[in-house]
Amino acid sequence: MKNPYLPYPVKIDDIVVETEDKNLKTFKFVFLNPEDEANFKYMPGQFAELSVPGKGEIPIGIASSPTEKGYLTFTVNKVGVVTTFLHNMKVGDIMGIRGPLGNWYPWEEMEGKNVVIIGGGFAFTTLRSSVVYMLHPQNRPKFGKITVVYGARNPGLLLYKQELMEWEKRDDIEMHITVDAADDPNWKYNVGFVPAITEQKVKSSENAYAIVCGPPIMIKFTQPVLEKLGFPPERIILSLENRMKCAIGMCGRCNVGDQFVCKDGPVFSLAKLRTLPPEY
Amino acid sequence: MGTSKVLKKDEWLKVIEDLRKGYKVFVPTKEGDFHFFREYKDGIRPDLNFSNTRLSPKGLIYPQSERMFECPLSKDQEGAFILKESPKDFGPQLVVGIRPCDAYGFLIVKRNFDNPQYRDPWWVRRYESTTFVGLGCNEPCPTCFCNAAAGGPFGEEGLDLLMWDLGDEYLIKPITEKGSNLLAKVEGKEAQDGEIKEAESLKKESQKKMDFSFDITPLKNKAQLELFNEPYWEDVAFSCINCGTCTYLCPTCWCFDIQDEVYKNHCDRIRNWDSCMFPLFTLHGSGHNPREKKFQRVRQRFMHKLKYYVDKYGNGIQCSGCGRCVRYCPVNIDIRNVIGLMCG
């Protein structure tokens, strides 16, 4: 019987400090056993438990894309016991990863559709995975127009800056990077909150899905904008977070109504969420 | 499933005693004012003259605290930071004297721990290696409502053998093949018509003593949000002190926590029973808590048992009617009243 609680052993292969406040780091992991890597088949939108023996486990969205072979990346915000310890770990250290866990963005449903990605702050991780996945030459023809609205409080808090700049240069993806405020006179992108920029830049909901990840306040004010644009709630896709332990639907704490965020989610349509108690 | 047998009480207890050779046997025994399931070792006196154990027997399959994994934490040790399963004993267990409500409770919990997507290896292996010998209830307590929630005072689901207390003797009925095989090895006379009739009438008499019944249809038909937004939750929760006694005693509350414990250079990953009554249960790292208020937690407990479970599994409520939470709640919250409200 496969033990769903047993993490795969991994080694930290690289650590990148993502933000100026140094509160977010991206960890690159490689599997110690090649067969574990083969078993770890995931899709953008899924998460995994990062398992630090002696400290505990944390559920974190997978930031790498399945099109990137040989490693996994996770961007971790320093918040509590495990994340603080992880931030102090070094390249070469051994720990565990348990997953992949949860469902993923509705990739099959979205084939042939336009995709609008809306992200805020450090919730851009599985969205990064999604963009990389869609831009892969094998996948790009499956999707229509790809639009990204991504905002942070200030330029120093944007994740994956180098990649954002590369995407800016491409003609098969429309980028709208924004910050709440910038004191850099050379800032050449947008200034404004994500909902406002979405309203200005996203012109149509026709044949389109919107994937929205960000802080609750951003989601709250982006929803009416999307609905005004004509996105039906079935095509507004959100990813939830709740406290987790088992991450396989057994320990009982992450439920939203009869749905477990860990197993039935974390991805839900707005239509589905409207039928459930708002306990998230 | 073979024929029932009748044994004198002391003969049957001798059989149980001898079964310790092949099984780890658990029996109810009296400690202070209450009964508990304990391993039948020398010095333990089985006592089947009881209403029910104070704690449910869920811990026999699902210990309150159990090691999951362990590993060394210093780099010079082999296997450092690589968690390995902690060794466990999955040898055959025999639980004697479990009440039908509690045996049924395991079937409710099984839907959580043994589902098409994931199997909890420890729960499943321990459950599968256990044989349950039930004891029907001649005298249900005033707090019992197994007739409405589960299979009743002589319910057979979840049991391998079922015992009837006929006064000086036990009538023992095989329910499953596992139970039948066990009973076949026991010397005893076959149950006669008269004894079987007596057993039947004990069952009827006992059922009559329970007066709570309800129809599950409204729980199925009402929308989650409709029940969730009912105005009565604050009232239901008013007196609750969030002590967690209900979840601790409940045979069907399965929620757990996972914690890493470190001693010197060794890590144990341990799982412990947890409770939805505690605010820490859902507290996010950010400080946000989706069930911050007491009434939200009380609502969660009842909604889980009486609505979410009903919707998720389509197999009744997540309650076996054992009545422990009713009996031991320090502020007299009664799940039967809540069922009444929700079905109203």
Yes or no, beta carbons of A4 and B120 under 8 Å apart? yes
Q: Among the three residues A101, A128, A152, which one is the final residue of a domain in this structure? A: A101
Is B189 a domain residue? yes
Residue B211's pLDDT is what?
Answer: 84
Reported ipTM: the value is: 0.93
Yes or no, beta carbons of A249 and B223 under 8 Å apart? no
Is A154 a domain residue? yes
The total of structural domains in chain B comes to 2
Give the three-state DSSP class for B238.
coil
Q: Are residues B116 and B243 in the same domain?
A: no
The closest CB to that of B286, out of A79, A249, A277, belongs to A79
DSSP calls for chain A: ---TTPPEEEEEEEEEE-STTS-EEEEEEEESSHHHHHH----TT-EEEEEETTTEEEEEE--S-TTS-S-EEEEEE--SHHHHHHHT--TT-EEEEEEEES----HHHHTTSEEEEEEEGGGGHHHHHHHHHHHSTTTGGG---EEEEEEESSGGG-SSHHHHHHHHH-SSSEEEEEES----TT--SEES-HHHHHHHH----TTEEEEEES-HHHHHHHHHHHHHHT--GGGEEEE-----SSSSS-S--SEETTEETTTT-SEEEHHHHTTS----
Q: Are residues A133 and A79 in the same domain?
A: no
Q: What is the pLDDT of residues B18-42, one digit of tens each?
A: 999 999 999 999 999 999 999 999 9
Is B181 a domain residue? yes
What is the distance between the alpha carbons of residues B105 and B102, in angstroms, rounded to a whole number? 5
Q: Are residues A121 and A227 in the same domain?
A: yes
Residue A156's pLDDT is what?
Answer: 93
Q: Give the CATH number of the domain where residue A43 resides.
A: 2.40.30.10
Is B75 a domain residue? no
Residue A216's pLDDT is what?
Answer: 85
Q: What residues in chain A have their Cβ under 8 A from chain B's Cβ atoms?
A: 1-7, 9, 32, 51, 53-58, 79-80, 83, 93-96, 241-243, 245-246, 248-258, 263, 275-277, 279-280
Q: Give the CATH number of the domain where residue A120 resides.
A: 3.40.50.80
What is the distance between the alpha carbons of residues B189 and B171, in angstroms, rounded to a whole number? 10
**B227 and B342 Cβ atoms separated by less than 8 Å:** yes
The total of structural domains in chain A comes to 2
Interface test with B, best of A122, A241, A251 (most B CBs within 10 A): A251
The C-alpha angle B37, B42, B44, rounded to 5 degrees, equals: 35
- Could you tell me if B260 lies within 8 Å of chain A, comparing CB atoms? yes
Nearest to B87 by CA among B117, B125, B55: B125
Q: Are residues A173 and A215 in the same domain?
A: yes
Is A36 a domain residue? yes
Is A234 a domain residue? yes
CA–CA min distance A92, chain B (Å): 11
Q: Among the three residues A101, A134, A157, which one is the final residue of a domain in this structure? A: A101
Yes or no, beta carbons of B120 and A7 under 8 Å apart? no
- Could you tell me if B283 lies within 8 Å of chain A, comparing CB atoms? yes
Residues of chain A found within 8 Å of residue B282, distances taken between Cβ atoms: 242-243, 253-254, 279
Yes or no, beta carbons of A53 and B267 under 8 Å apart? yes
Q: Are residues A93 and A116 in the same domain?
A: no
Q: Are residues B208 and B240 in the same domain?
A: no
The size of the A-B interface in CB pairs under 8 A is: 130
Residues of chain B found within 8 Å of residue A6, distances taken between Cβ atoms: 69, 83, 85
Q: Are residues A142 and A77 in the same domain?
A: no
Q: Among the three residues A101, A117, A148, which one is the final residue of a domain in this structure? A: A101
Yes or no, beta carbons of B81 and A250 under 8 Å apart? no
Is B327 a domain residue? yes
CA–CA min distance B270, chain A (Å): 10
Q: Are residues A95 and A131 in the same domain?
A: no
Closest chain B residue to the Cα of A242, Cα to Cα = B284
Q: Are residues B192 and B251 in the same domain?
A: no
What is the distance between the alpha carbons of residues A13 and A17, in angstroms, rounded to a whole number? 14
Q: Are residues A45 and A65 in the same domain?
A: yes
Range of the domain at B48: 1-62+83-213
Is A29 a domain residue? yes
Q: Are residues B200 and B284 in the same domain?
A: no
Residues of chain A found within 8 Å of residue B283, distances taken between Cβ atoms: 243
**B163 and B11 Cβ atoms separated by less than 8 Å:** no
What is the distance between the alpha carbons of residues B213 and B290, in angstroms, rounded to a whole number? 34
Q: Are residues B197 and B222 in the same domain?
A: no
Q: Is the Cα torsion angle A33, A35, A37, A39 positive or negative in sign?
A: negative
Q: Are residues B17 and B117 in the same domain?
A: yes
Q: Are residues A123 and A92 in the same domain?
A: no
Q: Are residues A229 and A117 in the same domain?
A: yes
- Could you tell me if B88 lies within 8 Å of chain A, comparing CB atoms? no
- Could you tell me if B117 lies within 8 Å of chain A, comparing CB atoms? yes
Nearest to B343 by CA among B102, B141, B148, B106: B148
Is B341 a domain residue? yes
DSSP calls for B247-258: HHH-TT---EEE
Yes or no, beta carbons of B83 and A263 under 8 Å apart? no
CA–CA min distance A60, chain B (Å): 12
How would you write the pLDDT of chain B (344 residues) with one tens digit per residue?
Answer: 679 999 999 999 999 999 999 999 999 999 999 999 999 999 999 999 999 999 999 999 999 999 999 999 999 999 999 999 999 999 999 999 999 999 999 999 999 999 999 999 999 999 999 999 999 999 999 999 999 999 999 999 999 999 999 999 999 999 999 999 999 999 999 999 999 999 999 999 999 999 888 899 999 999 999 999 999 999 999 999 999 999 999 999 999 999 999 999 999 999 999 999 999 999 999 999 999 999 999 999 999 999 999 999 998 999 999 999 999 999 999 999 999 999 98
Residue A232's pLDDT is what?
Answer: 97
Q: Are residues B166 and B232 in the same domain?
A: no
CA–CA min distance A56, chain B (Å): 6
Q: Are residues A79 and A120 in the same domain?
A: no
Q: Among the three residues B167, B198, B213, which one is the final residue of a domain in this structure? A: B213
- Burial (CB < 10 A; 0-12, 13-18, 19+), residue B115, is middle
Q: Among the three residues B154, B182, B213, which one is the final residue of a domain in this structure? A: B213
Instruction: For chain B, positions 146-205, list CB contacts with chain A under 8 A.
Output: none
- Could you tell me if B287 lies within 8 Å of chain A, comparing CB atoms? no
Is B157 a domain residue? yes
Q: Are residues A217 and A176 in the same domain?
A: yes
Is B141 a domain residue? yes
Q: Are residues A86 and A29 in the same domain?
A: yes
Residues of chain B found within 8 Å of residue A251, distances taken between Cβ atoms: 255-258, 274
Q: Are residues B130 and B20 in the same domain?
A: yes
Is A139 a domain residue? yes
Q: Among the three residues B188, B213, B238, which one is the final residue of a domain in this structure? A: B213
- Could you tell me if B312 lies within 8 Å of chain A, comparing CB atoms? yes
How would you write the pLDDT of chain A (280 residues) with one tens digit per residue?
Answer: 789 999 999 999 999 999 999 999 999 999 999 999 999 999 999 999 999 999 999 999 999 999 999 999 999 999 999 999 999 999 999 999 999 999 999 999 999 999 999 999 999 999 999 999 999 999 999 999 999 999 999 999 999 999 999 999 999 999 999 999 988 889 999 999 999 999 999 999 999 999 999 988 899 999 999 999 999 999 999 999 999 999 999 999 999 999 999 999 999 999 999 999 999 9
Range of the domain at A195: 107-239
Q: Are residues B225 and B330 in the same domain?
A: yes
Is A258 a domain residue? no
